[in-house]
């Protein structure tokens, strides 16, 4: 991910990566091995460290210390720091994507013939992630903060796009049906604003505590959701009413 030597390193990886699938088959039925707990420890530690200090702000040394494993193991299991990041993201993104699609399916089912309401669509998008946060799961908390960072860093847009764009297009399509009078451009921009508002909640930087002198808390997901859904829904509806 460094600018220098990027080409050289890419060439090295192109030689090395194809050998990775030779590791014990994951997903196939097999007894759990020792390496699995190592992999997990590294993933969890990386998730937490990346979220706190950013990808480039953390060394593999720090990560393996937090994980309580040897430095060399991260390259054995993940091949490179870049790929470690990729797997950290992919692990949870997959889960959220499936939950969101499922929630949207249910909303469609309940709406019968017509399109679900804006509120229902927005809720189907927000709840799968935010409910996990309000359950206090630290891992999801770190993942959310990490996603928030990668979302605004140009050099990572490729990575996050691969993982998040399918969900985006799915919900953009749902919004288009729910807002038939909105221009396509307004729908795309509206989706961006939706993401932006949500990111302010899930990035949980502590800024709202400082601004409100403790009146609001970053961790109060219920309180945030209670404002976020009406805010986004009304905003999107306004775009649907717009002359153009």
Site of interaction with DNA (CB under 7 A): 2, 4-5, 9, 12-13, 16, 23-24, 33-38, 58-62, 69-73, 75-77, 79-82
Contact 46, 89 (CB under 8 A): no
Q: Which of 71, 152, 181, 222 binds its own copies (CB under 8 A)?
A: 152
Q: What is 53-91 written as a DSSP string?
A: H-GGGS-HHHHHHHHTS-THHHHHHHSSHHHHHHHHHHH
CB of 137 to its own copies, least distance (A): 18
CB of 79 to DNA, least distance (A): 7
Count residues near its own copies (CB under 8 A): 66
Q: Which CA distances in Å does 158 have to 106, 152, 163, 175, 188?
A: 31, 11, 9, 24, 18
Instruction: Give which of its own copies, DNA, none residue 193 binds (C-beta under 5 to 8 Å, depending on kind).
Output: its own copies
Contact 111, 103 (CB under 8 A): no
Contact 211, 204 (CB under 8 A): no
CB of 165 to DNA, least distance (A): 25
Residues that bind its own copies (CB under 8 A): 1-3, 51-57, 62, 145, 148-149, 151-155, 157, 161, 165, 168-169, 172, 184-186, 188-193, 195-201, 203, 205-208, 210-212, 215-216, 223-224, 227-228, 230-239, 242
């Amino acid at each position: 991910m460094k600018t220098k030597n990027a080409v050289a390193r890419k060439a090295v990886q192109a030689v090395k990566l194809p050998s990775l699938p030779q590791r014990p088959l994951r997903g196939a039925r097999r007894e759990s091995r020792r390496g699995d707990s190592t992999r997990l420890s590294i993933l969890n530690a990386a998730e937490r460290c990346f979220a706190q200090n950013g990808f480039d702000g953390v060394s593999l040394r720090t990560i393996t210390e937090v994980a309580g494993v040897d430095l060399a193991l991260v390259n054995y299991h993940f091949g490179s720091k870049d790929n470690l990041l990729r797997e950290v993201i992919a692990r949870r993104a997959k889960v959220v994507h499936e939950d969101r699609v499922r929630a949207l399916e249910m909303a469609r089912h309940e709406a019968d013939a017509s399109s679900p309401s804006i509120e229902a669509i927005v809720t189907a998008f927000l709840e799968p992630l935010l409910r996990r946060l309000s359950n206090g799961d630290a891992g999801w908390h770190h993942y959310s903060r990490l996603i928030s960072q990668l979302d605004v860093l140009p050099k990572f847009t490729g990575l996050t796009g691969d993982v998040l764009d399918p969900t985006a297009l799915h919900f953009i399509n749902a919004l288009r049906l729910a807002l038939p009078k909105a221009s396509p451009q307004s729908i795309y921009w509206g989706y961006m604003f939706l993401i932006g508002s949500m990111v302010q909640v899930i990035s949980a930087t502590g800024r709202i505590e400082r601004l409100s002198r403790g009146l609001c808390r970053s961790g109060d997901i219920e309180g945030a959701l209670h404002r976020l859904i009406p805010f986004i829904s009304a905003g999107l509806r306004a775009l649907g009413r717009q002359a153009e």
